[in-house]
Amino acid sequence: MRTLIIALLIPLTLGAKMPSVDLHNAAKPGLQMPVMGIGTCGYAISPNEKAELWNNSVAEKAVLAWLNLGGRRIDTSLDYLDQPGIGRAIRSQTAVPREEIFITSKVGGGPLGYNETLDQLKTILAQLNTSYVDLLLIHWPLPVWSNSRDPACQHESQARACRQSSWRAMEEIFHSGRALAVGVSNFEMSHLQDIVDMNSLLPAVNQVEYHPYWHEDDLVAYCRDKSIVFNTYSPLGTPDWGPDHRGWNSSILDLPLIRDIACRHAKSPAQVLLRWALEKKLVLNPRSWNEKHMAENLDIFDFELTSDEARQIDDVPKPANPKVCPYPSNK
CATH of the domain at 200: 3.20.20.100
| Helix 114-128 and helix 83-92, axial crossing angle in degrees, nearest 10 | 40
Handedness of CA 317, 271, 2, 170 (dihedral sign): positive
- Beta strand 73-75 with 102-107 is parallel
Tell me if 186 sits within 8 A of 140, measured CB to CB.
Answer: yes
Tell me if 239 sits within 8 A of 252, measured CB to CB.
Answer: yes
Which has the higher per-residue pLDDT, 4 or 211? 211
Q: How far apart are the first and last CA of the chain?
A: 28
Structural domain includes residue 325: no
Distance CA 186, CA 184 (A): 7
Structural domain includes residue 125: yes
Average model confidence (pLDDT) across the chain: 91
For 303, list phi and psi in degrees, rounded to 5.
Answer: -150, 165
Structural domain includes residue 201: yes
Total number of residues shown for the chain: 331
Structural domain includes residue 261: yes
Q: What is the pTM of this model?
A: 0.93
Lowest mean pLDDT among 31-40, 148-157, 261-270: 148-157
Q: Where are the beta strands (DSSP E) in the chain?
A: 20-22, 32-34, 37-39, 73-75, 102-107, 135-138, 182-185, 205-209, 229-233, 283-285
For the beta sheet containing 73-75, the strands, ordered from the edge strand earlier in sequence to the opposite edge, are 37-39, 73-75, 102-107, 135-138, 182-185, 205-209, 229-233, 283-285
Distances (CA, A) of 297 to 20, 96, 249: 15, 19, 25
Task: Please compute the mean of the pLDDT values over residues 75-100 and round it to a whole number.
Answer: 96
Task: Please compute the mean of the pLDDT values over residues 183-196 and round it to a whole number.
Answer: 97
Tell me if 112 sits within 8 A of 148, measured CB to CB.
Answer: yes
pLDDT at 45: 53
Structural domain includes residue 3: no
Structural domain includes residue 109: yes
Set 43, 80, 132, 210: catalytic member: 80
Residue 80 is among the residues annotated as catalytic for this protein: yes
Q: How many domains does the chain have?
A: 1
Q: Which residues have CB under 8 Å from 209's CB, separation 6+? A: 186, 232, 233, 234, 323, 324, 325
Structural domain includes residue 304: yes
Domain of residue 92: give its range.
20-314
Q: Report the percentage of the chain scoring pLDDT > 90.
A: 81
pLDDT at 5: 36
Task: Please compute the mean of the pLDDT values over residues 150-163 and round it to a whole number.
Answer: 92
Structural domain includes residue 9: no
pLDDT at 44: 53
